Structure 1
Amino acid sequence: MSLTKIFYKSGFGTDPLNFKGSLLKIVCSLEVQAKTRELFLSYLQETVHESNKNIQYQHNQVSKMQVQRVCVIGAGVSGLVAAKTCLEEGLDPVCLERSNEIGGVWHYKEKTIPDQTEGQLYDCLVTNSSKLMMNYSDFPFPASASPYIPGRDVLKYYRAYADHFDVRRHIRFNTEVTKVKQSKDHEMSGKWIVTSKGVDGTILEETYDAVMLCTGFFAKCRLPQYPGQEQFKGRILHSNEFRSGREFKNLNVLVVGGSHSAGDVAVDSSYHANQVYLSMRHGAWVLQRNGQNGIPRDMLANTRFQGIIPMSIKRWATNGHINKRLNLYNLGLRPTAQLFHSEVMVNDVIDARIICGTIKSKTSIERFTSSGLIFTDGSRVDNIDVVVFATGYELNVPFVDNDVIGETFKELELYKFVFPPRLRHPTFAAIGFFETIGSHAPVMELQARWACRVFAGHCQLPSREKMVSDTIQRKRGMLQKFGKHKIFFPPIPYSDELAGLIGVKPRLLQMAIADPLLAIKYFFGPAFPFSYRLIGPHAWHGARDAILKGWDETVLATKTRKYQCNDMCAISRNVTGNNIQQMVKVIFVGLFLYFFVYFWIRQYEVNSAYKS
């Protein structure tokens, strides 16, 4: 009789520790050679010991931790959804916000605030993500909102979200967190002591069961230093101080950077300045907001079907689409690294401004002079009045110890980019400490949902050793891909991974049987955040309709002109033709991938049979 059958007939149940213990008893009763039995017993004892340690560690995580009161630091995009998710899980959130308004970087301020180094909104900003790809999973943008939202209007959405889910009453405004440290009994309780300062200078020290850090990446301006910079007589500022190109009227401006904000600042300034120069170290891949047939690009790119297409094919297709409209080499924008491994700039008009001569591309800065700059290609520009550094932001969480949140990206360790893996208790979560292609808000929401499920005891983390190993492996992969320490990933695989941990990831095969139309939209259509509210905890009854009507909701706001019947028929034929072409492409690519995988598996089986 097999050991497994003996085990179940012994009535030890399914507990892993009982399983190991039962095997010990069984082996002792078997008539085997003494030496073999001794070796087997030694192996099982070591296995039981390791299992005891791992299970005891997970047991300590849950049994000694009674999370109820949660401190949410920040009321921006990640802080709002963190507080709302705490309420969803029956927790008691206290959200501490240093300003007098929600929204974080989306809170527009007419004038810059001295010594304020976090990200700020400027006049010409428009979202890079379309509205239904950037909203939370159970609260869509109104149908009347344009496909891409002007920066100032985004805050209206977050205000409506906070009001709808009654989050505001849990927020303390004008309260700055000055210190987060472990409580004296942290090893047993997992609790934290948070020190904050009110607008009147009052210092308050409170104990919380858990902490959700929601200050994000846009916390401290990155201002590079170049030789001779102190001799420069013009004005130097960071893009977080920029509001409008009108302030640079008739001036010569140099913008440094290859990101979205660098393109926005350069383009907006070019309408008012005498001349604008754009200095980039590595160049940038420039993408428009709209893709083929006027469909928002992120709705075409962020699909689950795209996820199964090899990266080389996606790179080739995207390159072809870029080259149909732009010649990055002639425009001086061509990057040194291949697509998806270099800077991406979403901008609709920068090529036109370069062709008009109002923007001129330059290489990286070598050094400053008293009135201008010298570049790495040997060229120089004089009579520069303003230099704007659109060079991003640095990690900055001074009120948390470095052994919890590292001081630099190199030192930052987060299990699945959320939990510090070396803490004894999972009562500290960092929400929004990443960069991705497309909107960050839906990914932040999944991080918050997972963290709150862990706090509430509905989800468990693996052993400390496994979390550390996974974290190191991910950091190593990022370093190999980008050549520097950063957290940057495509949104769908990571979101699906978190959704699986939470229990809200739909199963495609089951969906295809129960609801074929939804399955097609789910797999081939845009990866709307609503898909993570179809099933599982806290599902939303409107998720299915939101997915099926997603395209109509996206374009509704732009259909402000009524057509005559004949015009509509012509348009309908054109759209239908385009849709048929797209469907043929999808079918062709799907068949190609199917047969490719099929023949690869067959060849593998033949080779395996031959070797055996």
Structure 2
Amino acid sequence: MSAALPTFADLAAGVAGGVLSRPRIAIIGAGSSGMAAAAEMLQRGLDPVLFEARAEPGGLWGKDPLSALYPDLVQGAAGQLPLSQPGPGSWAAYTEQCLDTIKRQGLASRIFTSTKVLCVTPSLHDAGADLLIASADRAAAPLLRHFEHVVYAGGLYHTPQMPAIAGAERFAGRILHSSDVRDLSRFVGQQVLIVGLGHTALACAAKLFPVAQQLLLSGRSPTWLVPRLLHGTPIDVAMRALKETFRHSYQARLWDACREHGALGHAVDPSSHEIDVGRQRITVSDSMLGPLRSGMVPLRPALAQVDQRTVWFADGSTCQADVIVCCTGYQSQAILAEGSEQPQQLVGNVLHARYPGLWFTGAPALWGSPAPIAKKQGRLIAHAIAMGWRRDELAQAVRPYVNYDKAATRLPFGFEAADFNGYAHMVDQASAEPSGEHAPLADDPVDYAG
């Protein structure tokens, strides 16, 4: 697949020949989020180029991805493009689908593979940022280029985040990250503690439950464990329907529906008669609800400390463990220049509040992003750039639809962003042309690899 796409050598040649003087927009990452944003930009006459560190595009679902994901992690990223979501072992087929989509959407000459952005230096005064771009193998001299707009679509799943566990140096067993849960034979007959109650934790639990001698889960945040379907409807669809129909009693009705279907609350106020999705995590799992409700897989509070084979929890209880699996997410990539990484609330969940022209796309929502979210974000970014929107205009456009009072989720580089409720409606309203069609390309497409 990579033979059909340009590389860093082509980029360097294009810069030397003056071909790359025209693009105003750089997209970091050619996964589904980056390609969705680029496709939306092309439809509005914008001129993006994409830089992909891997030899092939595809992001999470590409063959041999540059991430610590385990192969059968369930993600909706593939659904952000008009592609079918792959199952385990189908990465190669998905990669071929990506190439077909790239060709059809006119992206083939705009994606530079084996090309890594080493550093982004944003400007406080002029829009955009300087990008230090190099070949993935660092075999050639890097390039420094300025772009008026930079869209980060590099994903969140590169460097595992391991928590600081008191007494870890004395623990006689193994402490692993969820990305290391691959060879299940390593867990046969073991006493396993899973730290975390998110989707990854429940996916790991489903894999380890049949082989472990004992399995426990530890969670520190209020969490509702819910089934995939409510009255035969996928839970995300059911939640939207409830919210639209019962705006004022939405939380209580959601609680009733989930309770009827065997939902289980962990560290949630037992006197509460509602599910507050702004302050309580919702984790979807069909396979583990039965074992958890029956007590076959005990739920414990936050892990406090470990020593030898003993684990202490926040309530003073203990258990024995041979393996601790930390389902604690991934670290942000340090790509911004030193001194730039100051926490900021993103405007509209896509634009940096401090640096004009610095955009973000592809981040998950609080309890599992619906598949089209990156396509929606890409549409919003493309429309805002095409219309020349600044911070105030973008904030005004999204204010009626985005609830900034919801709990925040961590985005790359330490920035905070509110959840994405209302994105589907907001983006459709903001980006639709009066004729129902997108603006044509401003000029003939440029072959940046030529």
Aligned partners of 2:128, 2:255: CA distance in 1, in Å? 50
Q: Paired residue for 1:226?
A: 165
CA contact (8 A) 1:249 1:274 kept: yes
CA contact (8 A) 1:267 1:359 kept: no
Equivalent residue for 2:50, pick from 91, 95, 98: 95
Whether 1:296 and 2:224 are equivalent positions in the alignment is no
Aligned partners of 2:358, 2:408: CA distance in 1, in Å? 28
Q: Paired residue for 1:442?
A: 372
User: How far 1:490 moved relative to its partner?
Assistant: 4.5
Aligned partners of 1:447, 1:325: CA distance in 2, in Å? 33
Q: Paired residue for 2:276?
A: 339
CA contact (8 A) 1:71 1:208 kept: no
Whether 1:414 and 2:350 are equivalent positions in the alignment is no
User: How far 1:103 moved relative to its partner?
Assistant: 2.8
Q: Paired residue for 1:273?
A: 212
> Where do 1:585-604 residues align within 5 Å?
none
Q: Provide TM-score, normalisation by structure 2.
A: 0.77
Greater strand fraction, Structure 1 or Structure 2: 2
Q: Provide TM-score, normalisation by structure 1.
A: 0.58
Tell me the SS of whatever aligns to 1:302.
helix
Q: Paired residue for 1:194?
A: 132
Q: Paired residue for 2:226?
A: 287
The one-letter amino acid of 1:83's match is: A
Structure with higher Rg: it is 1
CA contact (8 A) 1:68 1:92 kept: yes
Greater helix fraction, Structure 1 or Structure 2: 1
CA spacing shift, 1:211–1:194, aligned 2, 3 Å: farther
Q: Paired residue for 1:607?
A: none
Q: Paired residue for 1:535?
A: 436
CA contact (8 A) 2:223 2:268 kept: yes
Please give the per-residue CA displacement for 1:507-560, whole angstroms capped at 9, x wherever unaligned: xxxxxxxxxxxxxxxxxxxxxxxxxxx934269xxxxxxxxxxxxxxxxxxxxx
Equivalent residue for 1:431, pick from 336, 343, 361: 361
Tell me the SS of whatever aligns to 2:163.
coil
Unpaired stretches in structure 1, ≥5 consecutive residues: 1-65, 507-533, 540-612
Q: Paired residue for 1:310?
A: 247
Q: Paired residue for 1:379?
A: 317
Aligned partners of 1:389, 1:460: CA distance in 2, in Å? 42
Q: Paired residue for 1:399?
A: 335
Tell me the SS of whatever aligns to 1:455.
helix
Q: Paired residue for 2:14?
A: none
User: How far 1:91 moved relative to its partner?
Assistant: 3.3
CA contact (8 A) 1:105 1:119 kept: no
CA spacing shift, 1:476–1:70, aligned 2, 3 Å: closer
CA spacing shift, 1:328–1:95, aligned 2, 3 Å: same
User: How far 1:327 moved relative to its partner?
Assistant: 6.1
Q: Paired residue for 2:198?
A: 259
User: How far 1:349 moved relative to its partner?
Assistant: 1.5
Aligned partners of 1:459, 1:421: CA distance in 2, in Å? 16
> Higher relative contact order by CA 8 Å / sep ≥ 6: 1 or 2?
2
Q: Paired residue for 1:494?
A: 423
User: How far 1:488 moved relative to its partner?
Assistant: 4.1
> Where do 1:20-419 residues align within 5 Å?
68-107=23-62, 109=64, 118-123=67-72, 125-127=73-75, 134-136=79-81, 139=82, 141=84, 150=87, 152-153=89-90, 156=94, 158=98, 160-182=100-122, 187=125, 190=128, 192-209=130-147, 210-243=149-182, 245-292=184-231, 294-303=232-241, 306-307=243-244, 309-311=246-248, 313-326=249-262, 328=264, 333=266, 335-336=268-269, 338-340=275-277, 341-354=279-292, 358-382=296-320, 384-394=321-331, 396-401=332-337, 405-406=341-342, 411-419=343-351
CA spacing shift, 1:77–1:403, aligned 2, 3 Å: farther
CA contact (8 A) 2:283 2:367 kept: no
How many residues are aligned here?
Answer: 405
CA spacing shift, 1:500–1:119, aligned 2, 3 Å: farther
User: How far 1:93 moved relative to its partner?
Assistant: 2.6
Aligned partners of 2:103, 2:27: CA distance in 1, in Å? 17
CA contact (8 A) 2:128 2:150 kept: no
CA spacing shift, 1:265–1:108, aligned 2, 3 Å: farther
Please give the per-residue CA displacement for 1:350-394, whole angstroms capped at 9, x wherever unaligned: 122336665222221111111131112222112x22111112234
Aligned partners of 2:191, 2:83: CA distance in 1, in Å? 43
User: How far 1:403 moved relative to its partner?
Assistant: 6.0
Unpaired stretches in structure 2, ≥5 consecutive residues: 1-20, 441-450
CA spacing shift, 1:271–1:166, aligned 2, 3 Å: farther
CA spacing shift, 1:175–1:462, aligned 2, 3 Å: closer
User: How far 1:300 moved relative to its partner?
Assistant: 2.6
CA contact (8 A) 1:245 1:265 kept: no
CA contact (8 A) 1:260 1:346 kept: yes
Aligned partners of 2:303, 2:198: CA distance in 1, in Å? 16
Please give the per-residue CA displacement for 1:469-512, whole angstroms capped at 9, x wherever unaligned: x99xx897346999x99534253x233233333236x9xxxxxx
Please give the per-residue CA displacement for 1:443-471, whole angstroms capped at 9, x wherever unaligned: 22222223223333x3422559x969x99
Please give the per-residue CA displacement for 1:563-589, whole angstroms capped at 9, x wherever unaligned: xxxxxxxxxxxxxxxxxxxxxxxxxxx
Aligned partners of 1:108, 1:364: CA distance in 2, in Å? 36
CA contact (8 A) 2:31 2:59 kept: yes
CA contact (8 A) 2:184 2:211 kept: yes
User: How far 1:211 moved relative to its partner?
Assistant: 1.4
Aligned partners of 1:96, 1:72: CA distance in 2, in Å? 6
Please give the per-residue CA displacement for 1:144-197, whole angstroms capped at 9, x wherever unaligned: x8xxx63555872655533432434422222221112258xx956756333323
